[in-house]
């Protein structure tokens, strides 16, 4: 592939969208063509996948996983690969690493996910992962405006975020992907400065 595939990861509220735009602006000033993608969010499923998952709370976990894999396959095959073949830089808001990071038991689930992703990724792995890290309390404060007196749904979000952070670092290390870890607790401008300095 002629281009570069860079994925942004981190728990909700970490500032991925802001930093993707910051890097896009910087790279375009350097003369690169940048394509933005997100997972989930393929052209085929963008109007249906979230609706299916959100409105079907009883949906089987395996079925849910297959839906996200289908979306990933569409993003990679129809958006990422064509852009890379043209020598463009692809910046992705989340990736297959998100799915791995939400696993409750990586030891028993990752092998099956790896086999599914071999199909969905069409042989394409990120050239670089940008992991923007914030504390779970910061995430809760940014998303809900507070980190005390959480209701049961908000508490579940908080509990899952801690596991996500741990699994994400573990997955990046296990696969051996090049990664830049950024401190998302800093101001957006400082995070951008640290990000750009890596390029």
Query: Any idea how long the chain is?
Result: 199
DSSP-derived secondary structure letter, 183: E
pLDDT at residue 65 in the model: 82
Nearest-angstrom CA–CA distance, 195 and 144: 27
pLDDT digits (tens, 9 = 90+) for 96-155: 999 899 887 877 888 888 899 999 999 999 999 999 999 998 998 888 776 667 776 677
| Helix (H/G/I), strand (E/B), else coil: 95 | coil
CA atoms within 13 A on the CB side of 182: 27
pLDDT at residue 61 in the model: 76
Q: Measure the N-to-C terminal CA separation of the chain; round to a whole number of Å.
A: 20
pLDDT at residue 54 in the model: 64
What's the rounded mean pLDDT across residues 148-170? 82
The count of structural domains within the chain is 1
Nearest-angstrom CA–CA distance, 128 and 125: 9
For tokens 């809760």, the residue is 140
pLDDT at residue 77 in the model: 96
pLDDT digits (tens, 9 = 90+) for 45-60: 776 776 676 666 677 8
Nearest-angstrom CA–CA distance, 75 and 153: 30
Nearest-angstrom CA–CA distance, 20 and 192: 9
CATH of the domain at 24: 3.40.50.300
Domain span at residue 111 reads: 4-197
Nearest-angstrom CA–CA distance, 48 and 109: 26
Q: What is the maximum span of the chain, computed from C-alpha positions, in angstroms?
A: 51
pLDDT at residue 56 in the model: 67
Q: How many CB atoms lie within 10 A of CB 183?
A: 11
pLDDT at residue 181 in the model: 97
Full-prediction pTM beyond 0.95?
no
């Amino acid at each position: 592939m002629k281009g570069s595939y860079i994925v942004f990861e981190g728990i909700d509220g970490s500032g991925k969208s802001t930093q993707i735009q910051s890097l896009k602006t910087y790279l375009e000033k350097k003369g690169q063509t940048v394509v933005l993608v997100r997972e989930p969010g393929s052209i085929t499923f963008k109007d249906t996948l979230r609706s299916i998952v959100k409105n079907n709370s009883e949906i089987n976990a395996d079925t849910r996983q297959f839906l996200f894999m289908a979306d990933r396959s569409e993003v990679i095959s129809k958006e990422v690969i064509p852009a890379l073949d043209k020598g463009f830089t692809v910046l992705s808001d989340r990736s297959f690493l998100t799915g791995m990071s939400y696993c409750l038991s990586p030891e028993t689930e990752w092998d099956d996910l790896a086999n599914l992703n071999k199909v969905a990724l069409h042989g394409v792995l990120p050239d670089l992962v940008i992991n923007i890290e914030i504390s779970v309390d910061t995430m809760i404060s940014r998303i809900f405006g507070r980190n005390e007196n959480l209701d049961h749904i908000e508490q579940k979000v908080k509990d899952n975020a801690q596991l996500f952070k741990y699994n994400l670092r573990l997955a990046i290390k296990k696969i051996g992907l090049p990664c830049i870890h950024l401190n998302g607790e800093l101001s957006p401008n400082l995070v951008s400065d640290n990000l750009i300095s890596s390029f």
